[in-house]
Structure 1
Amino acid sequence: VAIRLNNVFFDFGKYDLRPESYPELDRLAEFLKSNTSLRIELGGHTDNVGKDADNLTLSQNRVNSVMSYVASRGVDAARLTAKGYGETKPVNSNDTEEGRQQNRRVEFTILQ
């Protein structure tokens, strides 16, 4: 089951974390530090604007940004896997800016 991280979104075409993302990622880091046996996959997603290959690269860069941030908060990076999914798993319509914004996201799945 994938769990969407709330308030971890990205501007169009960017992979830099927006400052409002930090509190949510800090909570994830604290959760992982309190549950030291857990391993997670972080999944990065994009909207459908642009070329498929570019979106795949962008989603991987986004999830790498999240992984780096969480690791910088004291979580062993060996417990984190990062996978970019591009535009293949939208959670909302790409017909509106609001929907596209929601599709530019990161989720995590507990692996063990």
Structure 2
Amino acid sequence: MQAVKEKLQSMNATRKAKQEAKAEEKAEKEIAKARMDVAREIRLAKQAEAEMDLHVANAGKRVDQEISKHTANNPHLVEEANLMEVSAKGGGEGETTNVPTYRN
């Protein structure tokens, strides 16, 4: 009777150890999955930032093209636009400039 009791206790201890090992393995898998998800989100964020930088660079090129195109036709137009930017940014205290605007 004592041998059977010891055998049952041994089986219960083995079963408990297996359950704990399985729970630990499951937790490790969840942590690994979370790390992969975080790495994926970081990669996507970096890609989006690179695409944004590309769009900004393309917009800058477009602005330069438009300025050079209009400068060739009317050089005073660009100078007037630059004066407007300076006055809009607060080029001087109490100063006002009467600069004509270009409209199509």
**Which range, TM-score by smaller chain?**
under 0.3
TM-score, length-normalised on structure 1? Answer: 0.21
Q: Which structure has the highest strand share of the two?
A: 1
Greater relative contact order (CA < 8 Å, ≥ 6 in sequence): 1
Q: Which structure has the highest helix share of the two?
A: 2
TM-score, length-normalised on structure 2? Answer: 0.22
Computing the radius of gyration over CA atoms, which structure comes out larger, 1 or 2?
A: 2
